[in-house]
């Protein structure tokens, strides 16, 4: 396993875009950084012989999902992340420490991994390779159907959730801003 | 002896009254319910009389329980009991129409009353012991319901419970006896048991044990010492209840049961001796306790105890037909005594304390005559009913042993004393109360008239052999009870006994009549304080039985509370823990995630470094 | 092998973001980053082990992420319409 120049570049890009996602104050910029990250990941997928997954990554993840994020960010005019007083000002330090610890533990765990000497070939991860697996009843067909059904349910749920009349007509309690529930004790 | 469906019909009539009055009692206007109930009992009486003239009857439902038929048997013994129960029962029903006038539970009363008659008939007519037991428990239930008839007063409900609980002891004896007999003979039908016992081939000790268990049952129902404590308290019920259940019929069920099982008892000197002793103690105890009572109904209740003791003695000495004879005469004169008392209570608007009575002969002339006859019959004045039956018991006691005769003579002297005491306190002297007395209505007087005739004349069915060689009752009952020919006393002895008994009774009555009109001497008052409490039998029972049981219950209650406290403690512990943990749930999403992350790091680290 | 390390780094960074971001949408964005890191690890393992099944699972991850985003964003929009905020610190009604 050799580490070439492109690997180093891709790794640096991945880390930079990821840090941008979590640090940029402007939500739109963060979402755009996420798209960049996903595109780099898609490139990595190609290098790792997963071309069909790479295409899906670009089309669905970078193309559809993150665009959905952008829509919602703009819809709610939440682009600027500045909001009220920070309740947990020391939390970023804890989070940073935790992230470092987590990364350390994960790297330690992965360093124990011994890959087999000669893995079977992946044939580039092309659609004609994955397709028979996906549509084989012995393999993933039912899981695929279930995921399709899940998507349908999620779509319906999203529609129901944001249907304006329903929200307006709901008599739901005017929840007080930060009042603790009184009834539960 | 014929198979006939009319036999269960006798029972069905009052049962119908119970159901109809119990379910639809509210729709009956006041006297209608009473007359309906009374006429149903009269119907039972007439039907029973008819069947008895036909020579008895049987009715059987095979395999009611596996191996146990549901059978009724009307022979001469159960026939006599049936006529007493329905005949006297009918009169008391009619009398109750007047006595219960205006009571809010009028229909309910007659419904229970009919239930009692039905259950008593099941008891009397039942041939297989489980059927008898149904009746046995049925009368117990009716007794419980009627003692606690005015249940909204605590003391009445307590008395009802007391009667029920004390009777449970006797019922246990009955049940065990049934189990033992089933084990021994494989049948519980009395008519078959008679044959099996005659055939022999069993362990005689086991039969004695079965007889003893039956005796315990009979003692509970017939209120014999030491299970007598419930009967005086049973007077909390309305007076007709006391007259019918706790004097004339139900309490004699124990005697009837023993007579029914005469075939088991007559060969057993040990068991018979025990019955004699119990009967004697009860006879004297009841008589003495009666002499100290001030409540008119408790006076009569203790006299009933005493007379039940007489019946037990009769059973014990082997004179079974005499026991039945005494049941019959006693039913008449004691019912008359109770209903006379009831008429007085009615006249005085519910007053029951004899110290608030007196002089009633001027106010209640008809009731006074009833009282005279009841007193003389109960006191044993020749030739009223009580004399003949009591004299027969005394004569057979003499044959059993002169000492028993002497003790029974004391008991009968006391019987004459308590009768006359009751009479004098109620009817003589000056009126000591305030309520204006009024004579009872005809509906209450006429039953007493009829009972008065019975109390006067019922003795002639069982005259001693020296007067009437073949009296009516003895040969009439013999086929049903069994032929246990008793040794007849010599003619001269018999005559002497009759004369002594008659003279003693007459003298005692006369002396008591004078004595109780004077002021009581101090020794008598001291005695009366004792007797008023029934010689502290209740206190004794409380000390040796009730209080230990109560202490045990208290300990168990404490233990229960302790366990319960443990559980509630556990509950509050869990609750406190829950509140503690709930405070971790701040609702702050990011703190949750910190927790998740720390846990993830720790778990992964543990997994990697392990 | 290097991509496994990369996925570990991405995952840690995503965790940091999920903890420090205070807007629900950006927390969500960070979670997507973590999810993507997991997918990257799977693809890395697939190449090392020569397993096509892992690639299929990544396809499912992407599909389920789509469903998750649809519902999650719907929730955020609904909450925003009621409360005029998407701050995870202010949405604290669900507590003991």
**Nearest chain C Cα to B590, which residue?**
C19
pLDDT at B41 over 90: yes
Closest approach of chain B CAs to the CA of C30, in angstroms? 12
Helices (H) and strands (E) counted in chain B, each on its own, are 26, 3
> Is it the case that residue A171 has pLDDT exceeding 70?
no
User: Would the CB atoms of C81 and A102 count as touching at under 8 Å?
Assistant: no
pLDDT per residue as tens digits for the range B153-207 = 898 999 999 899 889 888 999 999 999 999 988 888 888 888 888 888 888 888 8
Q: For a pLDDT cut of 70, what percent of chain B falls above it?
A: 100
Confidence of residue A84 (pLDDT cuts 50, 70, 90): low
Which of B590, B601, B608 is most worth mutating to test chain C (most C CB atoms within 10 A of its CB)?
B590
Pairing of strands B57-65, B2-3: parallel
Question: Which residues, at least 6 apart from B161, have a Cβ–Cβ distance to it below 8 Å?
Answer: B144, B148
Instruction: Measure CA of the first residue to CA of the last residue in chain B; give whole Å.
Output: 98
CA distance linking residue B85 with residue B328, whole number of Å = 10
In angstroms, the CA C75 to CA A157 distance is 9
| Cβ within 8 Å, pair A98-B601 | yes
Convert the pLDDT of each residue in B543-571 to its tens digit.
888 888 888 889 999 888 888 888 888 88
Neighbours of chain C (3+ CB pairs under 8 A): A, B
Give the mean model confidence (pLDDT) for residues B234-238.
Answer: 89
- Give the torsion sign (CA, B374, B376, B379, B380): negative
State the DSSP code for A61. I
pLDDT over 90 (residue B111): yes
Strand order in the sheet with B68-74: B2-3, B57-65, B68-74
Q: How far apart are CA A53 and CA A6, in angstroms?
A: 20
Q: Does the reported pTM lie above 0.80?
A: no
Name the residue among A100, A112, A125, A115 with its Cα closest to residue A49.
A125
pLDDT of the residue at B560: 86
Q: How far apart are CA C17 and CA C11, in angstroms?
A: 10
Alpha-carbon separation of residue B268 from B170, B273, B274, B317 (angstroms): 21, 9, 10, 11
Q: Provide the CB-side half-sphere exposure for A32 (13 A, CA).
A: 8
Q: What is the pLDDT of residues C24-56, one digit of tens each?
A: 888 888 999 999 999 999 998 888 888 888 889
Interface partners of B (3+ CB pairs, < 8 Å)? A, C
pLDDT in tens, B275-319: 999 999 999 999 999 988 889 999 999 999 999 999 999 999 988
pLDDT of residue B349: 84
Chain A neighbours, 3+ Cβ pairs < 8 A? B, C
Distance (Å, rounded) from C-alpha B311 to C-alpha B253?
11
Q: What ipTM describes this predicted complex?
A: 0.88
Chain A residues near any Cβ of chain B (below 8 Å): 87-88, 91, 94-95, 98-99, 101-102, 105-106, 108-109, 112
Res. A182: pLDDT tops 50: no
| Residue C80: pLDDT band with limits 50, 70, 90 | confident
Each residue of B52-74: pLDDT tens digit? Answer: 888 888 888 888 888 888 889 89
Interval B423-439 mean pLDDT: 85
Report the residue of A28, A60, A75, A78 to disrupt the C interface, i.e. the one with the largest count of C CBs within 10 Å: A78
Residues 6+ apart with CB under 8 A from B295: B235, B352, B353, B354
Percent of chain B with pLDDT strictly greater than 90: 41
The pLDDT tens digits of the residues spanning B379-398 come to 888 888 889 999 899 999 99
pLDDT averaged over every residue in chain B: 88
Query: B428: pLDDT confidence band, cut at 50, 70 and 90?
Result: confident
- Of A99-103, B170-174, B355-359, B506-510, the one with minimum mean pLDDT is B355-359
Query: Per-residue pLDDT for A83 more than 70?
Result: no
Q: pLDDT tier at B38 (50, 70, 90 boundaries)?
A: very high
The pLDDT of residue B339 is above 70: yes
Q: What is the pLDDT of residue B87?
A: 93
User: B72: which strand partners?
Assistant: B59, B126
Residues in chain C closer than 8 A to B594 (CB atoms)? 19
Residue A137 has pLDDT above 90, yes or no: no
Instruction: Sort out which chain C residues have CB atoms less than 8 A from A49's CB and list them.
Output: 46-47
Residue A87's pLDDT is 73
Nearest of B280, B316, A37 to residue C9 by alpha carbon: A37
Q: What is the pLDDT of residues B502-513, one digit of tens each?
A: 999 999 998 888
């Amino acid at each position: 396993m050799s580490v070439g120049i492109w690997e180093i570049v891709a790794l640096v890009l991945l880390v930079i875009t990821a840090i941008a996602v979590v640090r940029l104050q402007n939500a739109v910029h963060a979402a755009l950084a996420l798209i960049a990250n996903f595109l780099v990941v898609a490139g990595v997928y190609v290098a790792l012989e997963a071309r069909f997954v790479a295409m899906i990554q670009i089309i669905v993840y970078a193309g559809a999902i993150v665009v959905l994020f952008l829509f919602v960010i703009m819809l709610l005019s939440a682009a600027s992340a500045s909001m009220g007083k920070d309740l947990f000002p020391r939390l970023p330090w804890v989070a940073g420490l935790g992230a470092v610890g987590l990364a350390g533990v994960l790297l330690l765990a992965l360093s124990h991994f011994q890959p087999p000497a000669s893995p079977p070939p992946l044939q580039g991860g092309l659609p004609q390779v994955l397709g028979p697996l996906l549509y084989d009843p012995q393999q993933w067909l039912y899981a695929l159907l279930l995921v399709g059904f899940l998507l349908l349910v999620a779509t319906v749920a999203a529609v129901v959730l944001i249907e304006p009349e329903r929200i307006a007509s709901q008599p739901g309690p005017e929840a007080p801003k930060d009042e603790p529930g009184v009834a539960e004790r | 002896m014929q198979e006939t469906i009319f036999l269960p019909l006798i029972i069905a009539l009052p049962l119908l009254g119970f159901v109809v009055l119990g379910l639809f009692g509210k729709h009956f206007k006041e006297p209608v319910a009473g007359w309906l109930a009374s006429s149903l009992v009269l119907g039972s009486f007439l039907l029973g009389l008819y069947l008895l003239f036909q020579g008895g009857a049987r009715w059987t439902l095979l395999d009611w329980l596996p191996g146990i038929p549901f059978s009724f048997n009307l022979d001469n013994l159960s026939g006599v009991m049936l006529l007493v129960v329905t005949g006297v029962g009918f009169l008391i029903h009619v009398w109750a129409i007047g006595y219960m006038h205006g009571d809010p539970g009028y229909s309910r009363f007659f419904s229970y009353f009919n239930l009692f008659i039905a259950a008593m008939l099941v008891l009397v007519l039942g041939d297989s012991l489980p059927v008898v037991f149904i009746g046995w428990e049925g009368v117990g239930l009716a007794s419980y319901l009627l003692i606690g008839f005015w249940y909204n007063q605590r003391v009445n409900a307590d008395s009802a419970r007391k009667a029920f609980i004390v009777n449970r002891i006797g019922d246990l004896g009955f049940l065990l006896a049934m189990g033992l007999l089933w084990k021994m003979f494989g049948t519980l039908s009395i008519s078959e048991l008679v044959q099996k016992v005659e055939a022999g081939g069993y362990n005689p000790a086991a039969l004695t044990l079965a007889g003893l268990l039956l005796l315990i049952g009979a003692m509970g129902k017939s209120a014999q010492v030491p299970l007598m404590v419930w009967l005086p308290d049973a007077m909390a019920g309305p007076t007709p209840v006391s007259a019918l259940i706790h004097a004339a019929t139900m309490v004699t069920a124990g005697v009837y049961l023993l007579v029914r099982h005469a075939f088991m008892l007559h060969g057993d000197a040990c068991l018979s001796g025990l019955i004699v002793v119990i009967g004697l103690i009860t006879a004297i105890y009841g008589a003495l306790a009666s002499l100290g009572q001030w409540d008119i109904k408790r006076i009569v209740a203790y006299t009933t105890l005493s007379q039940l003791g007489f019946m037990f003695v009769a059973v014990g000495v082997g004179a079974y037909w005499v026991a039945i004879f005494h049941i019959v005469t006693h039913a008449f004169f004691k019912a008359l005594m109770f209903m006379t008392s009831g008429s007085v209570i009615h006249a005085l608007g519910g007053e029951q304390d004899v110290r608030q009575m007196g002089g009633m002969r001027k106010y209640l002339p008809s009731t006074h005559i009833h009282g005279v006859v009841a007193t003389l019959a109960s006191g044993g004045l020749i030739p009223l009913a009580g004399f003949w039956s009591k004299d027969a018991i005394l004569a057979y006691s003499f044959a059993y042993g002169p000492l028993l005769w002497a003790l029974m003579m004391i008991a009968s002297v006391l019987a004459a004393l308590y009768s006359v005491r009751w009479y004098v306190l109620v009817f003589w002297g000056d009126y000591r109360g305030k309520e204006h007395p009024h004579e009872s209505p005809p509906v209450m007087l006429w039953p007493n008239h009829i009972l008065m005739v019975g109390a006067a004349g019922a003795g002639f069915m069982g005259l001693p052999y020296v007067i009437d060689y073949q009296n009516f009752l003895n040969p009439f009952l013999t086929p049903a009870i069994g032929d246990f020919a008793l040794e007849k006393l010599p003619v001269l002895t018999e005559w002497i006994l009759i004369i002594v008994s008659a003279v003693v009774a007459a003298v005692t009555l006369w002396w008591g009549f004078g004595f109780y009109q004077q002021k009581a001497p101090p020794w008598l008052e001291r005695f009366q304080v004792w007797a008023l409490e029934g010689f502290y039998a209740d206190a004794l029972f409380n000390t040796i039985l009730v209080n230990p049981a109560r202490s045990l219950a208290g300990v168990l209650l404490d233990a229960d509370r302790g366990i319960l406290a443990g559980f509630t403690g556990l509950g509050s512990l869990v609750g406190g823990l829950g509140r503690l943990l709930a405070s971790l749930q701040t609702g702050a999403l990011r703190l949750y995630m910190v927790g998740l992350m720390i846990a993830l790091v720790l778990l992964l680290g543990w997994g990697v470094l392990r | 092998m290097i991509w496994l390390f990369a996925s570990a780094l991405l995952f840690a960074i995503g965790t940091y973001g999920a903890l420090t971001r205070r807007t629900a949408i950006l927390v969500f964005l960070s979670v997507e980053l973590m999810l993507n890191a997991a997918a990257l690890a799977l693809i890395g393992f697939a190449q090392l082990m020569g397993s096509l099944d892992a690639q299929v699972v990544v396809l499912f991850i992407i599909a389920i992420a789509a469903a998750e985003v649809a519902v999650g964003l719907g929730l955020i929009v609904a909450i925003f319409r009621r409360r005029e905020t998407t701050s995870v610190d202010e949405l604290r009604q669900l507590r003991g």
